[in-house]
Amino acid sequence: MKVLVLNGPNLGRLGLREPGIYGSATHADLAATCVETGKELGIDVEVRQTDHEGEMVGWLHEAADAGWPVVLNAAAWTHYSIAVRDAAAQLKAPLIELHISNVHKREAFRHHSVLSDIATAVIAGLGVDGYPLALRWMAANAA
C-alpha cells in the first residue's frame, strides 16, 4: 500500500518558522520519520510539500485516481481553499487531516476547516508526532 503525506504552504520552513508553535524538527526530519515509520509498517510512504495550491490539487487528483490514502496538512489552505477541499473530496481512500499545532487554541480564523467534514479523521496539536500516528492508523485500516 502507498500513502501520500502532503504538506502545504510554509511547512517547508519547519524548524525555522515559529519553533514555539511548530517545534524544532525540519521538514526533512518529518519526511524521514514518515518514511521510516512506513518501512516499519510495511507501507510505501511518499512525503511531498508545496507552497503552490495548484500543485497540491494535482497531487490530490493523482491520489484519487490511484486510490491512495492521504495524510494532509493543508496548512493555511485548511481554512479557505475550496479548490483543495474539492480535490480532496474526490479521494476514494481514507483522508486524515493533520495539524502540527492545536488550531483550536490559536487565532479564531484557524478554528474553521473546510476539510474536516470530508476527512476520515483529524489529528491536531500533537506536533510532528501526529504523522506516525496517522500512518499507523492508515496501515491498520486503509488496506
Active-site annotation, residues = 22, 99
Closest to 84 measured CA to CA, from 51, 108, 46: 51
DSSP H helices, the chain, are 19-22, 27-41, 53-66, 82-88, 130-141
- Report the amino acid identity of residue 3: V
Distance of CA 73 to the CA centre of its chain: 3
101 belongs to an annotated ligand binding site: yes
79 belongs to an annotated ligand binding site: yes
**H or E segment at 71?**
strand 70-73
73 belongs to an annotated ligand binding site: yes
Q: With 0-12 CB in 10 A as exposed, 13-18 as middle and 19+ as buried, what is 52? A: exposed
110 belongs to an annotated ligand binding site: yes
> Rounded to an integer, what distance in angstroms lies between the CA atom of residue 95 and that of residue 73?
10
Residue list, annotated binding site for substrate = 73, 79, 86, 100-101, 110
Known binding residues are 73, 79, 86, 100-101, 110
